[in-house]
Amino acid sequence: MTNARAERTADEAGADRFFSAATPLITVAICTRNRAGFLEQAVRSVLPQITGDTDVLIVDNASTDETPTITAQLKSLHSCVSVCREPELGLSAARNTALARARGQYVIFLDDDAVAEPGWLAAYRGLLGMALSGNIAAAGGAVFPRYETALPVWLDPRAHELGGSESPHAFDGPGGPWGCNFALHRARAIAAGGFDPAYGRKGRSMAAHEETDLFQRLNRAGYEVWWLPEARIRHWVAKERLTLAVHCRSMFSLGRSTALLRQQQVTGKLRRGCYFLVRLAAAPFHIAVCLLAGLAMALLGRVRVAANMVFRSVRIAGFAYQLAREALGTQ
């Protein structure tokens, strides 16, 4: 961190004036690995929004870059910032550490390559502060991309965007917010078992759904997951992610994670066996249909639709691959 970057703004200094040692309502948790430059931006987007009921926890997930130096400097500059290290590689492991170490009654997770827009923390505070005796166990807000480069012609501009209703409400049924911008009632999340290490990114793995799995367990326990549109963030999308190869890798991993979610919802040995058999038998047909549809759309010049059909076929392939591994007892 340069001297100029080490200097605190007036708003950041104000965060320390507001911060108190009492048990906070909210801990903003940022789990990070080898993104020192982005991490600093993420923290600095939150600091001007800090009040006495909020602190910040950075979980360093075994970083090998300058992250330890950056986190040490941020901690020394801001009394509301604390830092811990999780040596076990994986986003779920880091997030479980955040739940264990957080002081707040609620933990808001912000990705290390995202920035919170003004009013982000106030939106969460307004909902969560009124929900202490209510039934809310999780909430999440809108996500808008910050692209490093121009979008390729085949990519849907909304692919990295999460919008929705303009008014807060409880999600009806499965689903929920995205993992880069969501909050959890700490005690309820821990009681539900926290994040399952079978999900979530780990090293080069692009596995997903660690938050969705937890949301579903919270729903089954009788709690609500809320949509909070005013809690907006901007999420960095590097040019390396805007390639067909990376999107296919991501879709394959997403298919595998979705299979894990779905098969856990099927109870009973017979029902599960039938589920595996039907889905595995249908997968080649669905893949072929998607690829043929993609080819037809490409010939018609509808490149974006064609790409989406290819991505769907790859996701189905990942789904079938994971089911086959489960059926064969392969981990």
The CATH number assigned to the domain holding 51 equals: 3.90.550.10
Looking at the structure, tell me whether residues 82 and 227 fall in a common domain.
yes
Amino acid identity, residue 71? T
Looking at the structure, tell me whether residues 232 and 316 fall in a common domain.
no
Q: How confident is the model at residue 18 (pLDDT cuts 50, 70, 90)?
A: very low
Contact 1, 79 (CB under 8 A): no
pLDDT tens sequence across 56-70 = 999 999 999 999 999
Looking at the structure, tell me whether residues 229 and 176 fall in a common domain.
yes
In a domain, 170, yes or no: yes
Please state, in angstroms and rounded to a whole number, the distance separating the CA atoms of residues 246 and 166. 32
Looking at the structure, tell me whether residues 224 and 268 fall in a common domain.
no
pTM of the full structure: 0.89
Please state, in angstroms and rounded to a whole number, the distance separating the CA atoms of residues 163 and 165. 7
Residue at a domain's end among 241, 266, 288: 241
Q: How confident is the model at residue 330 (pLDDT cuts 50, 70, 90)?
A: low
* Residue 252 in tokens: 């394959």
Residue identified by tokens 């072929």 is 288
Beta bridge partners of 27: 55, 107
Spatial CA neighbour of 137 closest among 128, 125, 147, 148 = 128
* Residue 10 in tokens: 């007036």
Residue at a domain's end among 241, 256, 283: 241
Contact 258, 175 (CB under 8 A): no
Please state, in angstroms and rounded to a whole number, the distance separating the CA atoms of residues 45 and 48. 7
In a domain, 97, yes or no: yes
Can you spell out the DSSP letters for 262-304?
Answer: HHHH--SHHHHHHHHHHHHHHHHHHHHHHHHHHHHHHHTT-HH
In a domain, 5, yes or no: no
What integer pLDDT is reported at residue 273 of this predicted model?
A: 82
* Residue 151 in tokens: 């979008």
Please state, in angstroms and rounded to a whole number, the distance separating the CA atoms of residues 236 and 180. 11
> What percent of the chain stands above pLDDT 90?
72
In a domain, 159, yes or no: yes
Q: How far is CA 181 from the centre of its chain?
A: 6
Looking at the structure, tell me whether residues 180 and 261 fall in a common domain.
no
**Rounded average pLDDT over 262-279:** 83
In 3-state terms, the chain is what percent helix, strand and coil (to 5)? 45, 20, 35
Domain span at 320: 244-326
Q: What is the mean pLDDT of the chain?
A: 90
> What percent of the chain stands above pLDDT 70?
91
Greater confidence (320 vs 175) lies with 320
In a domain, 88, yes or no: yes
Looking at the structure, tell me whether residues 101 and 209 fall in a common domain.
yes
Looking at the structure, tell me whether residues 168 and 281 fall in a common domain.
no
Spatial CA neighbour of 6 closest among 70, 81, 66 = 70
Amino acid identity, residue 329? G
Please state, in angstroms and rounded to a whole number, the distance separating the CA atoms of residues 231 and 146. 16
Q: How confident is the model at residue 208 (pLDDT cuts 50, 70, 90)?
A: confident
Amino acid identity, residue 34? N
pLDDT greater than 60 at residue 12? no
Looking at the structure, tell me whether residues 105 and 210 fall in a common domain.
yes
Looking at the structure, tell me whether residues 318 and 198 fall in a common domain.
no
Looking at the structure, tell me whether residues 119 and 249 fall in a common domain.
no
In a domain, 318, yes or no: yes
Where b means 16+ CB within 10 Å and e means fewer, 47-58 reads bbbbbebbbbbb
Please state, in angstroms and rounded to a whole number, the distance separating the CA atoms of residues 310 and 217. 32
Residue at a domain's end among 189, 210, 241: 241
Looking at the structure, tell me whether residues 98 and 174 fall in a common domain.
yes
In a domain, 21, yes or no: no
Q: Which residues contact residue 52 at a Cβ distance below 8 angstroms, ignoring those fewer than 6 apart?
A: 18, 19, 20, 22, 24
Please state, in angstroms and rounded to a whole number, the distance separating the CA atoms of residues 171 and 224. 7
- Any idea what the Cα angle at residue 264 is, between residues 263 and 270, rounded to 5°? 65
Looking at the structure, tell me whether residues 159 and 111 fall in a common domain.
yes
Neighbours of 321 (CB within 10 A): 16
What integer pLDDT is reported at residue 329 of this predicted model?
A: 76
In a domain, 313, yes or no: yes
* Residue 194 in tokens: 């926290």
pLDDT greater than 50 at residue 283? yes
**Rounded average pLDDT over 298-310:** 97
- How many separate domains does the chain show? 2
Contact 33, 87 (CB under 8 A): no
pLDDT greater than 60 at residue 16? no
Element (H, E) at 246: helix 244-265
